[in-house]
Homo-oligomer: A and B are copies of this chain.
Amino acid sequence: MTKEGHINFFFKPQSIALIGASPNPERLSYTILENLLKMGFQGKIYPVNPGYREIRGLKCYSTPGEINDRIDIAIFAVQASTVLEILNGPVENIKGVIIVSSGFREVGPEGKEMEVRLKEILEKKEIRAMGPNCLGIYDTISNVDTFFISSDKVERPARNGVSVLTQSGSFAAMIMDEMANEGAGVARVVSYGNKVDVDESDCLEFLAGDEATKAVALYIESVGNGRRFLAAASGCVQKKPVVALKVGKREPGARAASSHTGAVSGRYEAYEAAFRKAGIIEVASYEELKDACKVLNRYPLAEGKRVLIITDGGGIGISIADACEEAGLKVPEIASEAVRKLKKKLPAFASVRNPVDLTGSVRDEHYIVALQEVFREGYDLAIVSLLWGPPLLTPRVAEKIRDFADSCGKPILICSPGGKFSREAASLFTAVGIPVFFTPDSAVRAATVLCGGKK
């Protein structure tokens, strides 16, 4: 199998072996098995550990070679040296491995030497590999979860359309936890760490053709083969939006990346150019990437950059308008014909401009009236901001806006800033599938991605 061979089986495995399985809750492998079982993986699970005959009701094997079945994924949760030992033994039935173990290239010369040997063995035995020094796969389609972090500590997001590719495991954990906490989902998350074999290009090739994936989010410390990446990314962009965050842009970050996954970051400008060439939407920060994921779960890219803002809090409308202009989006005035109509249908207190300010006297239907009269023509995207202080605003506004969003076919983003009460009210939108953002800045970051990125 060549480097370009497909890696599809990682995302629809029939059988998973867990090398180093353990009944000891302090071991990483214990958590991995726990998560695999919790996730409801429907294929075969084979624990492997010469010290046990059974773990959690599953027959335990001494070596992977002993398993009389093809192993699609063998998860290695053992010491770095043991990984090499086992792979040097009989592993003909293993198709792919996920090596979560650290202690390779990221720790210095000795580890690097081990990683070189690992690569040789894998190539010789034609085994595809993710890692080492990674978390592996969290997949809401195939119900695979190889992450060695308890779901008590890092929540798992529900099923949705965005797939996330990342070198950094902590980044994967952070974004999954926050997405889950904000009611957002994911399709597949892949943390490939040191990338001894499988890298972002392999994954992009797979995700391009993956129907479950509506959009792709990339966290990049380094890219090995630039030309291949450009081809894979361009191919993927033809099919679905791809957003990327490049980290290790400047010297201190680059230094850290090298100790982290052994990555050589290279000149940032080269990445910037490659992203542009491939049609990737570049984001500048973790928060932008997270906001991008949330919004791309629900909406395809917008057709233009003209944003309609509707709010019940004047100051927030102004902040949203400022942030839009700052990001290169347009906030065009409402056409005079629409203003005339709207003035008839909205009470006198409302400010009929863009941003439309429905003020604290707002009622649910005012939001719908404003959307109906203004959004259909002249705008590509709407940001609808709700403060929940106004006494006549009710939870029913969420379904009403959802119904309108369904009928109009253009993206509508909700901004619901504030604390406990607002978050709960905001969850009404999440429940009907409309993405919610908790600050003006966050809503505009998401809108900017939908409009194809900053100016």
Contact = CB atoms under 8 A, between A and B. Distances in A.
A251 interface: yes
20 contacts: A26-B391, A149-B389, A152-B421, A168-B318, A169-B313, A170-B315, A171-B313, A174-B313, A174-B417, A177-B417, A221-B318, A252-B331, A252-B332, A253-B325, A257-B314, A259-B314, A259-B353, A259-B357, A285-B323, A285-B440
B256 A355 contact: yes
Interface string A165-184: 01111110110011011000
Question: What number of copies of this chain does the assembly contain?
Answer: 2
Interface residues of A, number: 86
A344 interface: no
A316 B174 contact: yes
Interface of A: 26, 102-103, 106-107, 149-150, 152-155, 166-171, 173-174, 177-178, 180-181, 219, 221, 247-253, 255-257, 259-261, 284-287, 290, 309, 312-319, 321-326, 331-333, 348-349, 351, 353-355, 357, 359-360, 387-389, 391, 417-423, 438-442
Contact of A421 (B155, B256, B261, B290): B155
B153 A388 contact: yes
B441 A286 contact: yes
A324 B323 CA distance: 21
Contacts of A353: 255-256, 259
A389 B148 CA distance: 9
Name, among A153, A248, A312, A326, the residue most crowded by chain B CB atoms within 10 Å (CB to CB): A153
A432 B75 CA distance: 41
A322 B417 contact: no
Nearest to A25: B391
Name, among A177, A284, A388, the residue most crowded by chain B CB atoms within 10 Å (CB to CB): A177
Nearest 5 pairs between A and B by C-beta? A168-B315, A170-B313, A181-B419, A260-B314, A252-B331
A203 B87 CA distance: 71
B389 A256 contact: no
A69 B106 CA distance: 75
A438 to B, nearest CB: 8
Contacts of A360: 170
A234 to B, nearest CB: 26
Name, among A102, A252, A259, A332, the residue most crowded by chain B CB atoms within 10 Å (CB to CB): A252
Contacts of A318: 168, 221, 247-248, 253, 256-257, 260
B441 A357 contact: no
B322 A249 contact: yes
Contact of A419 (B154, B171, B285, B440): B154
Contact of A357 (B153, B180, B256, B317): B256
A348 B419 contact: no
B287 A441 contact: yes
B178 A417 contact: yes
Contacts of A219: 315
Contacts of A150: 389
Contacts of A332: 252
Contact of A319 (B149, B247, B255, B440): B247
Nearest to A179: B419
A92 to B, nearest CB: 32
Nearest to A325: B250
Contact of A107 (B251, B348, B354, B420): B348
Nearest to A157: B419
B169 A315 contact: yes
